Amino acid sequence: MPAKDLAKSPPEERLVNLVVALMATEQGITKDAILTSVSGYREQSEAGASKDALEKMFERDKEALRGLGVPIETLGERADPDDLREARYRVPTSEYVLPEDIMFTPAELALLNLAGGVWSESSLSSDARSGLRKILALGIPVDEPIIGYSPRISLRDPAFPALQQAIEQTKVVHFSYLKPGEDAPRARRVQPLALIEYEARWHVFGNDLDAGAERTFLLARIVGAVEITRETFPASLRADAGEKALSGLEDVAARNAALLEVNPGTEAALRLSRRATPAEQGIRLPFVDIHILADELASYGPEVRVVEPPELRDQVIARLEAALHVHGGAR
């Protein structure tokens, strides 16, 4: 392909080919293999683009995919995971396995089949297949099938990209954090170690340097931009950080449970029952943050009633009364 025609190759096609390649192997692919094997990079390399320009393109594409919710992992040497000189990249296919308890109606399944059919026809172009053959030729095992997987696009808090970058670069961050009941946010200095999703909300786990203790922060409560500093910390601190954070949140949830009465067949029943267990008087729902749960329960209006704890009931009532006041009281 002549150099003047390279601009005609849409970046979206290059991103799709990159996702396919990163999902094709569990052991990961090196940057050099990507730049010489994946369509979109290979043509530019053959046309004389410098390695520095290709690497910058790859870094931009990697961040663009992460911004779309594609979980690209960076793997170091097996003997020394912190050694990233020969880093390998992958998208773990386990991220795309649906939980066993998720159920779909016949109509939903029909729509998903249609969407999956469209993706299956377009996700693996001839160029992508050629790239996979080159990857196989390098001796990298490829897991099949990979057709039918699509990037999981999800909404994330504005603080997510900066925190993810800081974790990868092992750099300290500064941000303002507003806790419930406080009038103004407080400045925090944190060594970010892991980003975790719990109860459909993102948290960052790390060392709060001013408090001298491990803390888990809800991304939705971070006010303003996250500043990435030049101060670094040992990469070894990240080891098992995600598991530790998740275990901590699960311990908190195990100690806190709400007893709720929910109207059957409502949106509240559909959403809450997935996280709850049946009880004599409704359902019992574990929770981590009483303020967040109160916000959610208040949004369901008369579909749900809090039996206990009384603190949660009071907070839900306060939110409903505030909404009533904003809208001018009873009509």
| Pair 133, 170 in one domain | no
Q: Structurally, how many domains does the chain consist of?
A: 3
CATH number, position 245? 2.30.30
Q: What is the pLDDT of residues 239-255, one digit of tens each?
A: 888 889 989 988 998 89
- 55 found inside a domain: yes
Residue 119 has pLDDT above 50, yes or no: no
Q: What is the pLDDT of residue 20?
A: 79
Query: Which range is least confidently modeled, 63-77, 159-173, 210-224, 261-275?
Result: 63-77
- 80 found inside a domain: yes
Q: What is the pLDDT of residue 19?
A: 83
Q: What is the pLDDT of residue 10?
A: 62
Average pLDDT value over all residues in the chain: 78
Query: Which range is least confidently modeled, 57-71, 86-100, 150-164, 285-299?
Result: 150-164
Q: What is the pLDDT of residue 144?
A: 42
**Parent domain of 164:** 160-249
- Helices 11-23 and 51-67, interaxial angle, to 10°? 80
Q: What is the pLDDT of residues 1-32, one digit of tens each?
A: 444 344 445 677 788 888 878 887 777 888 88
Percent of the chain exceeding pLDDT 70 equals 73
- 154 found inside a domain: no
pLDDT tier at 97, thresholds 50, 70, 90: low
Q: Which of 204, 136, 220 is nearest to 172 (CA)?
A: 204
- 316 found inside a domain: yes
- Cα 181 to Cα 228: distance, rounded to the nearest angstrom: 27
- Cα 30 to Cα 169: distance, rounded to the nearest angstrom: 18
- 92 found inside a domain: yes
Say whether pTM exceeds 0.85.
no
Q: What is the pLDDT of residues 193-203, one digit of tens each?
A: 998 888 768 89
| Pair 26, 103 in one domain | yes
| Pair 260, 240 in one domain | no
Return the H-helix or E-strand segment holding 300. Answer: none
Select the more confidently predicted residue: 167 or 111. 167
**Is residue 221 exposed (0-12), middle (13-18) or buried (19+ Cβ within 10 Å)?**
buried
Residue 235 has pLDDT above 50, yes or no: yes
